[in-house]
Structure 1
Amino acid sequence: MDISIILLIIGLICVIASFFAGNPSKKYEEELEKVSISLHQETSGLKKRLKVVEEELMIGVQPTAIPIKSKNSTKPVHEIIVNQILSLHAQGYSIRDIAKRSSLSEAEVIAVLQSRGVSG
């Protein structure tokens, strides 16, 4: 017999045997699929929780404006600016310096301080 025929027969026997032999990678594929599904579910749950937390944080951060009455008009001042004015005043800055830093007039700074019960 020729060597090529022997190799061909051995190859066919191996191919036929591979159909009857168990596929060990199938078990790993199923396990990997389960892990993938579990990971997807956990990620989805975390996204939902994160969205709820973000919504809760956004509820507490709604911009609150304090209307400050000056001689010319009533201009709302954002709570962040109010906190900045109070902080600068507590640090000992003058009304003029606070007005420059907060982009408000001196009268508006005084009105903010008076609205919070701080004497300017």
Structure 2
Amino acid sequence: MIEYTFIGLVSFAVLLLLISFFQKDRVKEVEEQVEQLTLSTMQQLYEIKKRVKAIEEELLVGIEPFSNEEQIWRLYKQGWTKEQIAHKVHMPIDEVSLTIARNER
């Protein structure tokens, strides 16, 4: 009796083992789907970055940078000290002071 039970259990184990080999690997399918989703997301992000860069370039074409005098005056109006402005625009403090004095008139 015990022999039949043992043979039955071993047979059942072998049967389950064979079934496990023939079933689809669901984890592998999910991994492939995640990989595809990641790739498509990366492509979309790349395209968006490319479009943003093109738009930024279009917007910057018409904008002229401030002259040093305009930049000095704007920074001074924002409350920057003459020393900070001189450091920012890479000019001597004397020139910064002269520019500010000219614009205050």
| TM-score, normalised with respect to structure 1 | 0.47
Question: When you count strand as a share of all residues, which structure comes out higher?
Answer: 1
Structure 1: distance between partners of 2:41 and 2:60: 28
User: Cα distance 1:82–1:57, how it changes in 2: closer, same or farther (>3 A)?
Assistant: farther
Identity in percent: 25
In structure 2, the CA distance between the partners of 1:62 and 1:15, relative to structure 1 (3 Å rule), is farther
TM-superposed deviation, 1:39: 0.9
Aligned residue type for 2:72: I
Distance 1:63 1:12, change over 3 A: farther
Contact 1:81 1:102 in 2 (8 A): no
Q: How many correspondences in the alignment?
A: 89
Contact 1:82–1:112 at 8 Å: present in 2 too?
A: yes
Mark the runs of 5 or more structure 1 residues left unpaired by the alignment. Answer: 66-76, 89-97, 114-119
Deviation at 1:20, TM superposition (A): 2.8
> Counting helix residues as a fraction of each chain, which structure ranks higher?
2
| Distance in 2 between residues matched to 1:37 and 1:13, nearest whole Å | 39
Larger deviation, residues 29-38 vs 47-56:
47-56
Alpha carbons of structure 1 residues 111 and 28: separation in structure 2 relative to 1, 3 Å: same
CA distance in 1, matches of 2:73, 2:26: 69
What is the 5 A alignment of 1:33-44? 33-44=35-46
| Larger RCO (CA under 8 A, 6+ residues apart) | 2
Task: Report the counterpart of residue 64 of structure 1 in structure 2.
Answer: 67
**Unaligned segments of structure 2, at least 5 residues:** 83-95
Please, what is the CA RMSD of the aligned residues? 3.6
Mapped partners of 2:100, 2:23: distance in 1:
85
Query: 2:73·2:99 contact (CA, 8 Å) conserved in 1?
Result: no
